[in-house]
Structure formats: structure tokens, C-alpha cells
Amino acid sequence: MKSTKFGKIKSASSWNEKENSVTPEGVFNDRRNIIKALGLGAIGASIPGHVQAGLFDLFGEKKAVDPFVTQVLDFTKNSAFGLKETLTPMQKVITHNNFYEFGTSKTDPVDNAQGFKVDPWVLKIEGLVDNPLTLDLDDLTKLFALEERIYRLRCVEAWSMVVPWVGFSLASLLKKAGVKSSATHVAFETLFDPDQMPGQKSRLMGGGIHYPYIEGLRLDEAMNDLSFMAVGLYGKTLPAQNGAPIRLVVPWKYGFKSIKSIVRIRVMDKQPPTSWNQLAANEYGFYANVNPEVDHPRWSQATERRIGEGGIFSATRIATKPFNGYGEQVAHLYKGMDLSRFY
Ligand SMILES: Nc1nc2c(c(=O)[nH]1)N[C@H]1C(S)=C(S)[C@@H](COP(=O)(O)O)O[C@H]1N2
Ligand SMILES: [Mo]
């Protein structure tokens, strides 16, 4: 077990370690977040050090059992996006990750992303829009009413989860920016900060991706009601390893489209290049719609491992559904397209 700012987390590399206390950066961030969560804001910044330490101690108990010491979000549950399936336990959602900026193994992100700084954050919405936007960290949770949506997440590696995200629709953000009529596509870019993201320093550790990580959608896909900007999960702000402070979630596409820690959204009039497609175009297409009938060149996509209860590698194998079960909402977007060619 390992103590992090998200609580006691079991990760492969720390199985043999005995409990250790949070890192100095973790303590610092926790204290700032607690002060923020209490609404003390600027007052918190001017509280003398020993008082802050006391405030922090007050939460010591909770910290041990609660995996997030970050902000609790205000949101409403959107029942239109509920699911009958069992939620993936939160400990799995926040410890089994793909975030190659922090390393390529599933536990690298939780091990290496602690202390990741999201404040200050700048997200720009630019390109073919009438009102380019520059949002700061506060804007991300305050500009739009937040809602919770439960979505399936299906990775191209044939595992899946069911996650309660908190956020707002991508369409509402694009509408605020005012998309020009000449626009056809939307591109997304992750933070580039090799000092914080060790995978961006080394080709090997970063999985060969040419950073910054970039992704894209066709404009009609981006405007579809399902396309979601997540700022939280399980009711609280996103842990770094899940893409803090803001990430895309496109539930009918393979997980690699759901780009994390976004700093730029650019509305364009052509299809943007995308990271995984640039790395291996024969394996990862621009569309990347979940499709049990189109196999990856190296494995079948007919079934998936639903990450669930039990040990860290345990899971049940289930059939993969076309468009990850969201065909009713999105199949019309691809009418007449050969989906084995546009994979
Ligand atoms: N910037 C960035 N975004 C990313 C990735 C990444 O490596 N870097 N991995 C993707 C992949 S392959 C998947 S499956 C999902 C995983 O999201 P999760 O870790 O929150 O489950 O994030 C996606 N977004
Ligand atoms: Mo993935």
C-alpha cells in the first residue's frame, strides 16, 4: 500500500513497500485544495503556517479512507446517461490507467503523476470560432452547470470500465465559442511539460508517441450530445492520472480518443493529425469507433475484459458492442461509410 494524495493506493510497484507518508508536494497540494474546498480562498493563503497545519490535521482521518482530498463538485445526475451496469470500483478507475506522458504501464500514471500541478491552468478554444475563449482552472468547473454521466470506457487494448464522470457537454463549450460555418473538425491538445511529464522526456518511457498528445473529432461527432468534457469522476475533481483538470470523454470510441489534461481546442476546416494514428496508422484510425467486427491487426476486438472487483488484474470477459453500446445515438453519423476502411 502506498499513501498518496488520493489515499491508500495499491500499485504493482509498491506491493512490497511498507506504508510511507505523502510526499512534500502532495502535502502542499492537499493543504491548498482543502483550503479551497472550504471556500477560504485568499484567506487560506494568509493563514499562518501553524494554523494551516492544524487545519490539515483535521482532515487527517478522512484522508486515510477517502481517495480524493481534492474538491467535491456540485453537480446533478443526468438520468438520460445512467447505466444499469455495475460501476467499476473507484480504486480501479484511479489506479489502472493509460496516460503515456507518465509512463506506459497501467500503474505508472498513479505512481508518477502525484504532485502534478493544475493551478494555474489555461485552456484555449480557438481557430474557426467567433469568440475565442481562454479559460482558467476556476472556469472549468464554474462556467457550465456540471452533471454526472455514467459511461462505458472501452480501451483499444480490449479492457473496459464503467465510470461516473462529472462535467459538461463539449457542444455547450463549442457553442459558447461560436463555431464558424466553415468548420468541419475539432482538434485537442494535451499539456506539453516534460519537467512534470517524464514520458515526454524519453521516447522509450513515453511509448514512442510524438508529444504533445493530440486528438481530433469530426465537427458532427464533437457536437453529438454524448461528447463530454469531464472535470471529475466519482463526484470529485479528476485525479492527475485520469487527466486533471479537464479531459475529453467520447464513449463510443476507443479510449485513446478521450484525450487527457487538455490545454487547447482548435476548431478547423480539415481533419487534424492524431497521435496514435501518426504512430501506427494501420492499427489506429482517425475514427476509432468501437467495433467488434473490425479486429485490431494484432488481436480480436470481439470481446473485452470488464475491469471489476478482485485483484488488480481480475476481470470478466464480455462481448463488445458496436459503438460500445451507443449505436442508437451515433450510428447515423457514419451512414454509408465502410467502417472497416474508416476504422
Ligand atoms: N494525453 C493522453 N490522453 C490519453 C492517453 C494518453 O496516454 N495521453 N491514453 C488514452 C487511452 S489509451 C485510454 S484507454 C484512456 C484511459 O483513461 P483512464 O486512464 O482515465 O481510464 O485515456 C486516453 N487519453
Ligand atoms: Mo486505450
Ligand 1 atom at minimal distance to the Cα of residue 261? 1
pLDDT at 134: 98
Instruction: Give the pLDDT confidence score for residue 21 in this predicted structure.
Output: 28
Mutate to test the pocket of ligand 1, among 108, 260, 312 (most ligand atoms within 8 A of CB): 260
198 phi/psi in degrees, rounded to 5: -60, -25
- State how far the Cα of 217 lies from the Cα of 188, in Å rounded to an integer: 9
Determine whether the shortest distance from the Cβ of 253 to ligand 1 is under 6 A.
no
Asked if residue 317 belongs to a known ligand binding site, the reply is no
Q: How far is the CA of 336 from the centre of ligand 2 (A)?
A: 27
- Among the listed ranges 27-41, 52-66, 247-261, which one has the minimum average pLDDT value? 52-66
Smallest CA separation from ligand 1 atom 15, residue: 255
User: Does 260 contact ligand 1 (Cβ within 6 A)?
Assistant: yes
**What is the per-residue pLDDT across 6-47, written as a single tens digit (0 to 9) for each?**
333 333 332 222 222 222 222 333 434 433 444 444 433 343
Answer whether 257's CB lies under 8 Å from 215's CB: yes
Place 71 in a pLDDT band, splitting at 50, 70 and 90.
confident
| pLDDT tens profile 154-192 | 999 999 999 999 999 999 999 999 999 999 999 999 999
Q: Which atom of ligand 1 is nearest to the CA of 248?
A: 24
β-bridge mates for residue 216, sequence order: 187
Residue 68 in this model has a pLDDT that exceeds 70? no
How close is the Cα of 163 to the center of ligand 1, in Å? Answer: 14
Residue-level pLDDT at 315: 74
Ligand 1 atom nearest 242 alpha carbon: 20
Percent of the chain with pLDDT over 70: 78
CATH 3.90.420.10 maps onto the chain at 65-334
- Residue of minimum CA distance from atom 8 in ligand 1: 99
Of 59-73, 111-125, 131-145, give the lowest mean pLDDT range: 59-73
| Rounded Cα distance, 102 and 237, in Å | 19
3-state secondary structure the chain: CEEECCEEECCHHHCCCCCCCCCHHHHHHHHHHHHHHCCCHHHHHHCCHHHHHHHHHHCHHHHHHCCCCCCECCCEECHHHCCCCCCCCHHHHCCCCCCHHHCCCCCHHHHHCCCCCCCCCEEEEEECECCCEEEEHHHHHHCCCCEEEEEEEECCCCEEEEEEEEEEEHHHHHHHHCECCCCCEEEEEECCCCCCCHHHCCCCCCCCCCCCCEEEEEHHHHHCCCCEEEEEECCEECCHHHCCCCEEECCCECHHHCCCCEEEEEEECCCCCCHHHHHCCCCCCCCCECCCCCCECCECCCEEEEECCCCCCCEEEEECCHHHHCHHHHHHHHCCCCCCCCC
Say whether pLDDT at 108 is over 80: yes
Q: pLDDT tens digit string along 293-337?
A: 999 999 999 999 999 855 556 678 999 999 999 999 999 999 999
d(C-alpha 152, C-alpha 163), whole Å: 6
Does 107 contact ligand 1 (Cβ within 6 A)? no
- CA 50 to centroid of chain Cα atoms: 36
101 lines ligand 1 (CB under 6 A): yes
Ligand minimally distant from the alpha carbon of residue 98:
1
What is the CA(257)–ligand 2 centre distance, in A? 8
Which ligand lies nearest to the CA atom of residue 239 in the structure?
Answer: 1
* Number of CB atoms found within 10 A of residue 38's CB: 14
**254 close to ligand 1 (CB < 6 Angstrom):** no
- Is 113's pLDDT higher than 80? yes
Residues 260/291, Cβ–Cβ less than 8 Å? no
Mean pLDDT of 249-260: 98
**Contacting residues for 190 by C-beta, under 8 A, at least 6 apart:** 101, 211, 212, 213, 214, 259, 260, 261, 262, 263
Residue 247 annotated as binding site: yes
Ligand nearest to the CA of residue 232, numbered in listed order:
1
Provide the pLDDT for residue 316: 83
Is residue 101 a known part of a binding site?
A: yes
Q: Which CATH architecture has domain 65-334?
A: Alpha-Beta Complex (3.90)
